[in-house]
Structure 1
Amino acid sequence: MDDFVSKYVNRLDSKGRVSIPAPFRQILVREGLDSLFCSPSLELDAVDAGGLGLRGAIDTYLEAFDVFSEEREVLATALLGESESLKIDKDGRVVLSETIKEHAGITDAVSFVGNGFKFQIWQPERYEAYRADATKRALALRKAAGNRRTTSAGGGA
């Protein structure tokens, strides 16, 4: 299974293009894609990006709702209606739309951050602030999970 992992920072060129990291491009090529699916994150100042894995995850998520329900309509509008398909050029670059750049606060550089079945596109300083907070929260979650396992295994009080 191919997963998007690691972090890369690339600069936008004078024409507003940015190179997708080679390991990420390789996954998209193996999926038979020549474009990048992008959807603004609902909760973060970032853009979710990827290929068939991301599209499949969104479709699976939406299937949990009645096809004409208000919940599905709202989610489909936010996740699909605001999404974009960016053409990847022969050199592995895409042009980020103004909508994407505005949502993520991108001006001259982009952080590409692997998240398994998808990756995220961030403005680098915003990502570093998020990463610092996420690391603290992850440590707290790991500690809480460890405490639950110890309590469950030991039958403690």
Structure 2
Amino acid sequence: MDGFVATYINRLDAKGRVSVPAAFRAVLAREGQEGLYCYPALDLPAIDAGGVRLQEAIADQLSDFETFSEDYETLSTAFYADSRVLKIDQDGRVMLPEEFREVTGIGDAALFAGQGLKFQIWEESRFRERQKAAREHLRSLKGSLGRKSRPARGTEEAR
């Protein structure tokens, strides 16, 4: 798998910089991404981040909506107007903007959680709460996880 996997915790320095995990930087480099594309998660106190594949997935998602529809306008604002491309310095660090730190509650450390196509940046205790809730939810769904109830992504039936 050539995606973002695992969880890492890195400390912010006095200037608000944090090291992007080396494994994540390697994925970004393979995608040809020079910076870190990120935006506040739509419904969580986290930052969604990634590279070219994330940007392509967003464009694909938006293509399902009429260009000037309310849904398109709302999503494009969330994905583009609130986004930033953070420069990764020669030491593998990015400067976390203050507005991102406020959204997440990040203080002196940031947790990077891989999600395959993208990763999220969290304050650790908030992530641990989310992780616990996600596992409980998955336990409740376990019996139905093996069923194919919808067409594969990219097929006409899925659109």
Distance 2:145 2:48 in 1: 27
Unpaired runs of 5+ residues, structure 1, are: 150-157
Paired position in structure 2 for 1:34: 34
1:9: which partner in 2?
A: 9
Matches within 5 A, 1:97-108: 97-108=97-108
Mark the CA change 1:142 to 1:12 in structure 2 (over 3 Å): closer, same or farther: same
Output aligned runs, 1:72-111, within 5 Å: 72-111=72-111
Deviation at 1:144, TM superposition (A): 3.7
- Cα distance in 2, alignment partners of residues 34 and 132 from structure 1: 33
* Counterpart Cα distance in 2 of 1:140 and 1:146: 13
Q: Structure 1 residue 29: deviation in Å?
A: 1.1
Specify the SS of the correspondent of 2:10.
Answer: strand
**Equivalences for residues 1-157 of structure 1 within 5 A:** 1-145=1-145
Give me the CA root mean square deviation. Answer: 1.6
SS of structure 2 residue aligned to 1:71: helix
Structure 2 gap ranges (5+): 150-159
Can you list the C-alpha shifts for 1:33-80, whole angstroms capped at 9, x where unaligned?
220000111110001000011111111100000111111011101111
Find runs of 4+ consecutive structure 1 residues off by over 4 angstroms: 146-149
> Deviation digits for residues 67-98 of structure 1, max 9, x if unmatched?
11111011101111101100000010000001
Q: TM-score, normalised by structure 2?
A: 0.89
What SS does structure 2 have at the residue aligned with 1:38?
A: strand
Contact 2:62 2:75 in 1 (8 A): yes
Q: Distance in 2 between matches of 1:107 and 1:72?
A: 34
The more displaced of 87-96 and 70-79 is 70-79
The secondary structure found in structure 1 opposite 2:49 is strand
Instruction: Tell me if structure 1 keeps the 8 A contact 2:32–2:52.
Output: no
> Per the alignment, in what secondary structure is the counterpart of residue 91 of structure 1?
coil
Q: More helix by proportion, 1 or 2?
A: 1
C-alpha displacement at 1:147, in angstroms?
8.8
- Checking the alignment, whether the CA contact within 8 Å between 2:40 and 2:83 is kept in structure 1 is yes
**C-alpha displacement at 1:143, in angstroms?**
2.7
